[in-house]
Amino acid sequence: MFSRPKRFVPSGFRGFAQNANDGLQTPSRLSGKQKASRNGATTQRKRESVKGMEIENAIIRLEQVPDALIEISATDLHGLFPQPALIHLGGDQPEPLFVSVLLHGNESSGLAVVQTLLKTYASKPWPRAVSFLFGNVQAAREGLRRLDGQPDFNRIWPGTELGASPETRWAQKVYADMAARGVFASIDIHNNTGRNPHYSCVERLDGQSLNLGVLFDRLVIYSPYPKGTQTGAFKQVCPSVTLECGSPGEASGVEHAVEFIEKCLRLPEIPCQPPAAEDIDLFHALAQVLVRDEVSFSYDYPAADLLLRPQLDELNFTELTPGTLLGKTKPGSPPTPLPLIARTDDGRDVAGDYFRIENNQLVLTQGSMLCMLSMDERIIRQDCLCYLMERITEFSTSHVN
């Protein structure tokens, strides 16, 4: 047995699941028979013919909203848009707000946010021009982050470490298009697969980026790694932010993001003066923690090289003490190399500074705070186990990058 560590709960936080039975709605996987039935129905349904649809370089461009978009599910969106789609809509202020959704196909809250906004402005003008990008529609069809053989759609943007591909080329075109339009701000909407509060991520510590983040929630994470994210690309041309809206299917995450975007649509400008220290809880995601490729891991298979602690995502945003147990290694396994890599912004592996193997137990070596811990083993392998964080207690323009 071990004691429950102290959870960091920022004042005025939103969206934190306190336990596994607090109303979170996690989409269940479909059985083979259900998939066949759903896919058969989709095939039989006549695909809407969208007037003005332009298909170029693996992306669809539109300047009007297809009627079917208003109610369609993420799993059926591929029937309307068989590939990524970009919709431009005019507004009273010409500099557009750019909103991307479904860069990860299993993170469906963004689609619900867009649908809510489209209903709101169906019969009245937008306060500001807006552009919506619908990303990995094929992975959304299967309820997956990405399909095998696909790159991560939030690692393909300018600045990526990936080689050239059809995906990096269309991402470059979207970026260039929005930059040419004088984009006002960029918002990328995501979900977590583990239990986390709502928070925002920025990749630039300047006043505008932080003010945009705080407008969503006082909990803001500065996360300049990994490279090739949408937010990281757009920071070069406008204030940009990633919204983490809790679990998919959670109504409060959709409502929170809609409220935020409504505020952004009405902003005449984004202040350059950083928010006051008492108005922000700012953390630096100093390292991305991955399980080594050659290490097998599991939450429930005892023979795995690394057996992770049950309900590990309960430790998200908690102040953890040295010696906190994270998992167990096979009996007889050597203490080195560690089964984890902790990669910093500049590519260094600092896992040895934060973790050790002690009597075949994986423990923390110093007080730490973790975020984005997931219970989904596929997501852990495709993305990461978690991020190590440190609080930024003093802010100055010397942080700006």
Query: Same domain for 312 and 378?
Result: yes
pLDDT of residue 7: 56
What are 304-332's pLDDT values in tens digits? 999 999 999 999 999 999 999 999 999 88
pLDDT of residue 60: 96
In a domain, 209, yes or no: yes
Q: How many CA atoms lie less than 13 Å away from 9 in the CB half-sphere? A: 11
What are 332-375's pLDDT values in tens digits? 887 779 999 999 988 899 999 999 999 999 999 999 999 999 99
Query: Same domain for 82 and 202?
Result: yes
pTM attached to this predicted model: 0.83
pLDDT of residue 315: 95
At which of 258, 279, 300 does a domain end? 279
Query: Same domain for 255 and 316?
Result: no
Helix (H), strand (E) at residue 76: none
pLDDT of residue 9: 54
Query: Same domain for 306 and 275?
Result: no
Q: Residue 325 in contact with residue 363, Cβ under 8 Å? A: yes
The CATH code of the domain that includes 159 is 3.40.630.10
Query: Same domain for 82 and 201?
Result: yes
Query: Same domain for 258 and 334?
Result: no
- Residue indicated by tokens 């129905």: 41
390 pLDDT tier (thresholds 50, 70, 90): very high
Query: Same domain for 118 and 96?
Result: yes
Query: Same domain for 194 and 327?
Result: no
Say if residue 33's pLDDT is above 70. Answer: no
In a domain, 373, yes or no: yes
Q: What does the pLDDT average to over 46-72?
A: 76
In a domain, 145, yes or no: yes
Q: Residue 245 in contact with residue 253, Cβ under 8 Å? A: yes
Provide the b/e sequence for 12-50 (b: ≥16 CB within 10 Å): ebbbbbeeeeeebeeeeeeeeeeeeeeeeeeeeeeeeeb
Q: Residue 7 and residue 317: Cα distance in Å, rounded? A: 6
Domain containing 249: what range?
49-279
Q: Residue 214 and residue 379: Cα distance in Å, rounded? A: 28
Q: In whole angstroms, how far apart are CA 135 and each of 47, 77, 139, 198, 258?
A: 19, 10, 9, 22, 19
In a domain, 20, yes or no: no
Instruction: Report the sign of the C-alpha dihedral through residues 75, 77, 83, 84, in that order.
Output: negative
Q: What does the pLDDT average to over 219-243?
A: 96
Least confident of 38-42, 150-154, 365-369, 384-388: 38-42
- Residue indicated by tokens 């010397």: 398
In a domain, 7, yes or no: no
Q: What does the pLDDT average to over 94-116?
A: 98
In a domain, 15, yes or no: no
What are 134-172's pLDDT values in tens digits? 999 999 999 999 999 999 999 999 999 999 999 999 999
Query: Same domain for 339 and 378?
Result: yes
DSSP 349: B
227 pLDDT tier (thresholds 50, 70, 90): very high
Query: Same domain for 274 and 371?
Result: no
Q: Residue 59 and residue 81: Cα distance in Å, rounded? A: 9
Query: Same domain for 275 and 315?
Result: no
Query: Same domain for 220 and 314?
Result: no
pLDDT of residue 23: 31
What are 74-98's pLDDT values in tens digits? 999 999 999 999 999 999 999 999 9
55 pLDDT tier (thresholds 50, 70, 90): low
Task: For the chain, give the mean pLDDT.
Answer: 88
Q: What does the pLDDT average to over 262-291?
A: 96
Q: How many residues does the chain have?
A: 401
At which of 252, 279, 306 does a domain end? 279
The count of structural domains within the chain is 2
pLDDT of residue 220: 97
At which of 279, 295, 314 does a domain end? 279
In a domain, 255, yes or no: yes
Q: What does the pLDDT average to over 191-218?
A: 95
Q: Residue 113 and residue 190: Cα distance in Å, rounded? A: 11
In percent, how much of the chain has pLDDT > 70? 84
pLDDT of residue 50: 56
DSSP assignment of 190-205, as one string? Answer: E--SS----EEEES--
In a domain, 8, yes or no: no
